[in-house]
Chains A and B, each alone.
Chain A
Amino acid sequence: DTAVSQTPKYLVTQMGNDKSIKCEQNLGHDTMYWYKQDSKKFLKIMFSYNNKELIINETVPNRFSPKSPDKAHLNLHINSLELGDSAVYFCASSQDRRGTQYFGPGTRLTVL
């Protein structure tokens, strides 16, 4: 019954490693998003895809690369992880580009 799911929930890794976070939505939505929530709980959009097309690409280091294999999935790959990448990453989806955004449970990334 989970609407927007993310795996893994927790991710602990060393600096310099490459990691991926996966997101899936079973709501039949066309648009998906990645947000970063920092240690002060500040939420900022990173990327958005609509029907597998990248439509929002905020000022994010190019070590971050989103990929949408189909409109129900949006993955986030991070290369050469840095300490400052430690945060909670949220996936969200909406029915269309202007619809209400539904958030997943988040992935807490800790870079040591």
Chain B
Amino acid sequence: QQQVKQSPQSLIVQKGGISIINCAYENTAFDYFPWYQQFPGKGPALLIAIRPDVSEKKEGRFTISFNKSAKQFSLHIMDSQPGDSATYFCAASPQGGSARQLTFGSGTQLTVLP
């Protein structure tokens, strides 16, 4: 059972455009929603994260929008650059538990054309 559904699987955007990646979750116990960026041959790296008490968080060109009632969150990359070409993963973890157990989405391969 996939608890975090991510779309699209792949995305091609022109330089300067806006990239939008969407995720939906089922577990209402989730209280932490990070986005990770992974370049080929590298490990995932935290990009930005949000908690459900806010509807939006912005860090530079990256923004997370969060809709608690719809159980959806999305990553917006403004002014997309070729260097942003990577695989992006959304994730979620529940409050409580013995550790922050991340459940990842299936990933989105982003290609930004020059």
Residues of A within 8 A of B (CB): 4, 31, 40-45, 48, 50, 55-56, 90, 92, 94, 97-106
B33 at the interface (CB under 8 A from A): no
Number of interface residues of B (CB under 8 A): 20
Task: State which of B41, B89, B99, B107 has its C-beta within 8 Å of the C-beta of A48.
Answer: B99
Tell me, in angstroms, the Cα distance from A43 to B33 when the chains sit together: 15
Which applies to chain B's interface (DSSP): helix, strand, loop or mixed?
loop
- Tell me if B87 and A55 are in contact (CB < 8 A): no
B58 at the interface (CB under 8 A from A): no
Tell me, in angstroms, the Cα distance from A45 to B99 when the chains sit together: 12
- Chain B residue at minimal CB-CB distance from A4: B43
- Tell me if B43 and A90 are in contact (CB < 8 A): yes
- Tell me if A99 and B98 are in contact (CB < 8 A): no
- Tell me if B43 and A92 are in contact (CB < 8 A): yes
B101 at the interface (CB under 8 A from A): yes
- Tell me if B43 and A106 are in contact (CB < 8 A): yes
B113 vs chain A, min Cβ distance (A):
21
Residues of chain A within 8 A (CB-CB) of B101 are 45, 48, 56
Tell me, in angstroms, the Cα distance from A42 to B9 when the chains sit together: 12
Which applies to chain A's interface (DSSP): helix, strand, loop or mixed?
strand
Tell me, in angstroms, the Cα distance from A50 to B98 when the chains sit together: 9
Q: A92-B43, A102-B45, A106-B43 are in contact. List 11 more A-B contacts (CB 8 A).
A: A31-B99, A40-B106, A41-B107, A42-B104, A43-B107, A44-B104, A45-B101, A48-B101, A50-B99, A56-B99, A101-B100
- Chain B residue at minimal CB-CB distance from A103: B43
Tell me, in angstroms, the Cα distance from A41 to B87 when the chains sit together: 9
B41 vs chain A, min Cβ distance (A):
7
Tell me, in angstroms, the Cα distance from A31 to B99 when the chains sit together: 9
- Chain B residue at minimal CB-CB distance from A91: B43
B46 at the interface (CB under 8 A from A): yes
- Chain A residue at minimal CB-CB distance from B34: A100
A-B contact pairs, 19 of them (CB 8 A): A41-B106, A44-B104, A48-B101, A55-B98, A55-B99, A56-B101, A90-B43, A97-B99, A97-B100, A98-B99, A99-B100, A100-B46, A100-B49, A101-B102, A102-B46, A103-B36, A105-B43, A106-B41, A106-B42
